[in-house]
Copies of this chain bind each other. A is one copy, B any other.
Amino acid sequence: MAEDKKYQDASLPLPPDVEESLCRCGGIAGLTGQLPGDDLLKRESALFRALADPLRLKILAMLAVQPLCVCVIKAVLGIADSKLSYHLSVLKKMGLIAGEAQGNWIIYRLTADGTAWTRQVIGDAGSRKNR
């Protein structure tokens, strides 16, 4: 709080070409103004965090082939129930998958968002054989 600087380049020495183009976009303040808001960045980074795990990507790839119940996913991955449940909850909380109860089972499928992101990751490897 002691010293508020002018948002001009006066205060910090820069390499010439950076200084020039920084001026053209309105200095530090101008640059700052062009950036996405913190809340958007937070949401997007949260999305990426959900995708930042090989097991979860594999689950998405599986569900790109077809909707599946937990027990099949488990059979493919070969991991403990609670571990799988944890990863499913991460994907679900992020809106990438949704589960629908059917009798004793819960059948998970990709949401629209989940489908879009899964394509980003694995191309459409999954849809070759299946459709």
Contact = CB atoms under 8 A, between A and B. Distances in A.
Determine how many copies of this chain the complex contains.
2
B15 A107 contact: yes
A15 B102 contact: yes
Contact of A25 (B15, B54, B65, B125): B65
Given A54-B41, A130-B25, A67 B18 contact: yes
Grouping DSSP codes into helix (H, G, I), strand (E, B) and loop, the A interface class, with mixed when no group exceeds half, is helix
A31 B76 contact: yes
Determine the interface band of chain A, counting residues with CB < 8 A from chain B: 35 or more
Interface in A48-80: 48-49, 51-54, 56-58, 61-62, 65-69, 71-72, 75-76
Interface of A: 12, 14-15, 18, 21-22, 24-25, 28, 31-32, 34-36, 38, 41-42, 44-46, 48-49, 51-54, 56-58, 61-62, 65-69, 71-72, 75-76, 102-103, 105, 107, 120-122, 125-126, 128-130
